[in-house]
Amino acid sequence: MTLWGLIIGESEAAHRAASRLQSDQRRCTPVHVRTATEAWQWLDRMPEGDHLVYVCAAFPSPDGDPDTVLLPIVDRFPTVRIIILTSDPVLDGVAGLADGGKLDLIVHSDSLNSDFFLQDMSDQVRRFAESSGLGYPRDAPTKETFIFSTPMSDDEVMAQIVAGIDDCLGYQPRVTVPPGVRLTIEGTAVEEAMLSLKGAVALERESHAGDILMHHATTGRIIGLLSLTDRREAFFTSRTTTEVTGIRLTFEQLNRVIRTRPETALLIAVLLIRSLDRRLRRAEDIQVEKIELMAQLRREQEELQKTYADLQAARAELMGRARFATLGELASGVAHELNNPIAAIMRSVDHLVEDISLAFENGDEMRAASTALHAALHSSPLSTHEVREERRLLTDLTGDALLAQRLSLAGVTAEMLETLLPRRMPSGRRSRLIEEVERASSIGTGLRNLRSASTRINSLVDSLRSYARPDGDPLADIRVRDTIEDTIRLLSHRLHGIDVEREYGDLPPIVCHPAQLSQVWTNLIVNAADALVGAENPILTVETSSPRPGWVRVSIADNGPGIDPGTLEHIFEPRFTTKAGRVQYGMGLGLTISRTIVERHGGTIRLDSHPGGTVATVDLPLEGP
């Protein structure tokens, strides 16, 4: 195994370096090449098992800067020592080598004739042996330590310093002071230093928050020495924390010791460097702790903010629940107050039906009118398609489109009219009979609306009461279209100018809480009506269907402007509303309540929206909750 050293360059400095290294081949065999290309040719031929110890390259070089020439060699031989010869006063192009820790030795060409060059190269060979595990050659120079590095402890170093001081100045009396004594005072001049032989001293500094303990374990053994270096005022207050024994010297006495005892001066420097090192390390540790504490504080602040937001939401929810509880109490009172007048209205409707029926019993025309009244009173709502079909049939039957429209609005169907009108009847009598039928049917429709309104008021009160007492609205078998039609009828004032399209499928009854479902339809239809404000041709489409066996689907669609995606994802959140064309947090409970009601029934509710329309879809199971 051979240890090789490679010298690269054709400058005069490279030749001198090669000559000096070739004169001393005891530990490493040098090889001199002129260019980087020749260097790689030689490296490719280097015998396997041999070691490349160092590369000594001269710069400036036509091959490029040091990084360009030497980094590829370092990549192939990671343990190689890099020595740079330069004739320039300032060296650049070494960022990569410096970053990789490979600027092992830099030599100016004027220093090549010095004996120190060979000594430095010998040290590089020794360091290569250390890092590669080859061991020291027998004739290798003794391993040298840094001049300020000593295995002695602080107490041992201090003992030697005191011995040197006593030898130089004569025996110095030892001073003993109790805890709490200030050895230096912040902001005052320092003229003496205190060598602490035993005890502990802390450094303090004043602040607006009071005296702050800055250093304790890192104070050092020579108090006041740093302030003496440039005759400045004390930066800290040094205060004993235990009984302290020491030697107090003026700066003139210290000067005398340092001038006459270089070995003592070196030991003083060792103590000073150790103290500064501990203080700097502690300061860096404190900085790291500060950063970690700040990061922890930020995390805790974020958690507190989240907790605060959760508490705010919980508070709002509790307030909402409190409002609902209050609403339930108010609803009970309102129900109690309304029960009697509602019952009176409903009894009056029943009496009116009986009285009008009796009045219509005399004569064929009156009996026909009575039949029309009862038919209108108990009729079911028709879809938009069915209404159009009835108007067409009535027009065919009467020959008058305007009359057919009036009859349709009064609730008269073609089947009813055809049954009530004899085939052969004088035209005058026929016209009077049609008028009586129309009038009676209008009365029946009005009575039906009055009865429906009374029932609806009662149901709404029960619905309000059910918010606080969910069992207050009993289950019932109902037809979904009936609850929807009742809602549309009672919201007619909100639907003025809106074309309501009905597409009712032939569906079986479902088991549900009728008042609660009416509340859902009310919320959805009111939202759709609000979305259609200002629309050119507003259309509200209500459709019922069966998406799959055992289920009913209700779709309520509008051709309004739609809801943007950012708003749509919050649409079911409590207190979130888009009313009046703006997003705000107010009551905004309609859709939240609707979803709660639908989910209690075992169903689902969703909103799909795009520019030009929004569709609310509710799916409910037939068997109910």
Residue 296, token pair as written in the block: 């922890």
Task: Write down the architecture of domain 154-260 according to CATH.
Answer: Sandwich (2.60)
Alpha-carbon 78 to chain mean position? 45
Average pLDDT over residues 441-455: 73
Q: What angle do CA 182, 186, 191 make, to 5 degrees?
A: 75
Which one-letter DSSP state was computed for residue 145? -
- pLDDT at site 35: 95
25-61 pLDDT, tens digit each: 667 899 999 999 999 999 999 998 899 999 999 999 9
- pLDDT at site 52: 94
Residue 544, token pair as written in the block: 């019922």
Lowest mean pLDDT among 302-316, 330-344, 394-408: 330-344
- pLDDT at site 540: 92
69-83 pLDDT, tens digit each: 999 999 999 999 999
- Asked if residue 455 has pLDDT above 80, the reply is no
- Asked if residue 362 has pLDDT above 90, the reply is no
- pLDDT at site 586: 32
In angstroms, the CA 382 to CA 198 distance is 106
- Asked if residue 324 has pLDDT above 80, the reply is no
Q: What is the DSSP string of 117-128?
A: HHHHHHHHHHHH
Residue 369, token pair as written in the block: 């009118």
Q: Give yes or no for a cis peptide into 60 (omega within 30° of 0).
A: yes
Alpha-carbon 223 to chain mean position? 52
- pLDDT at site 463: 53
102-149 pLDDT, tens digit each: 999 999 988 777 678 888 888 888 889 888 877 655 555 555 666 667
Strand, coil or helix: what is 374? helix
When pLDDT is cut at 50, 70 and 90, the band that residue 425 belongs to is low
Residue 362, token pair as written in the block: 């005399």
Domain ranges of the chain: 3-132, 154-260, 290-472, 474-625
- pLDDT at site 583: 36
Q: How far is CA 453 from CA 12, 345, 459, in A?
A: 114, 10, 10
Average pLDDT over residues 417-428: 67
- Asked if residue 338 has pLDDT above 60, the reply is yes
Residue 173, token pair as written in the block: 């009396």
In angstroms, the CA 519 to CA 513 distance is 10
Q: At what angle do helices 154-169 and 262-359 cross, to 10 degrees?
A: 140
pTM of the model: 0.46
471-510 pLDDT, tens digit each: 556 778 888 888 888 888 778 778 888 898 989 888 899 9
- pLDDT at site 5: 93
Strands 175-177 and 222-223: unpaired
- pLDDT at site 326: 56
8-19 pLDDT, tens digit each: 999 998 999 898
| Residue 193 contacts residue 223 (beta carbons within 8 Å) | yes
In angstroms, the CA 208 to CA 349 distance is 85
Higher pLDDT, 44 or 457: 44
- pLDDT at site 205: 83
Higher pLDDT, 611 or 473: 611
What letter represents residue 20's amino acid?
Answer: R
Lowest mean pLDDT among 66-70, 147-151, 421-425: 421-425
When pLDDT is cut at 50, 70 and 90, the band that residue 582 belongs to is very low
Q: Which CATH number fits domain 3-132: 3.40.50.2300, 3.40.50.720, 3.40.50.880, 1.10.1060.10?
A: 3.40.50.2300
Average pLDDT over residues 215-221: 69
Strand, coil or helix: what is 186? coil
274-312 pLDDT, tens digit each: 888 888 888 788 888 889 999 999 999 999 998 988 888
What letter represents residue 110's amino acid?
Answer: D
Residues 6+ apart with CB under 8 A from 499: 537, 538, 539, 540
Residue 363, token pair as written in the block: 């004569």
In the chain, count H helices and then E strands. 18, 22
Domain 474-625 has CATH 3.40.920.10: no
Supply the mean pLDDT for the chain.
81
Strand, coil or helix: what is 61? coil
Average pLDDT over residues 424-434: 68
Q: Comparing C-alpha atoms, which of 82, 37, 30 is closest to residue 61?
A: 37
Strands 182-184 and 212-215: unpaired
When pLDDT is cut at 50, 70 and 90, the band that residue 257 belongs to is very high
Q: Comparing C-alpha atoms, which of 476, 624, 475 is closest to residue 550?
A: 624
Q: What percent of the chain has pLDDT over 90?
A: 27
- pLDDT at site 472: 53
When pLDDT is cut at 50, 70 and 90, the band that residue 577 belongs to is low
Residue/partner pairs of 74-82 with CB below 8 Å, 24 or more apart: 74/100, 74/102, 76/43, 77/52, 79/128, 79/131, 79/132, 80/52, 80/53, 80/54, 80/55, 80/128, 81/53, 81/54, 81/55, 81/105, 81/124, 81/125, 81/127, 81/128, 82/54, 82/55, 82/57
- Asked if residue 218 has pLDDT above 70, the reply is no
Q: At what angle do helices 401-410 and 427-468 cross, to 10 degrees?
A: 40
- pLDDT at site 348: 64
Alpha-carbon 238 to chain mean position? 48
- pLDDT at site 580: 42
Average pLDDT over residues 609-624: 90
- pLDDT at site 154: 86
Residue 620, strand partner residues: 552
- Asked if residue 587 has pLDDT above 50, the reply is no
545-573 pLDDT, tens digit each: 998 899 999 999 999 888 888 777 777 76
- pLDDT at site 33: 95
374-388 pLDDT, tens digit each: 676 667 666 777 778
Task: State the first-to-last Cα distance of the chain, in angstroms, to the nearest integer.
Answer: 90
224-254 pLDDT, tens digit each: 887 777 667 888 888 898 999 999 998 889 8
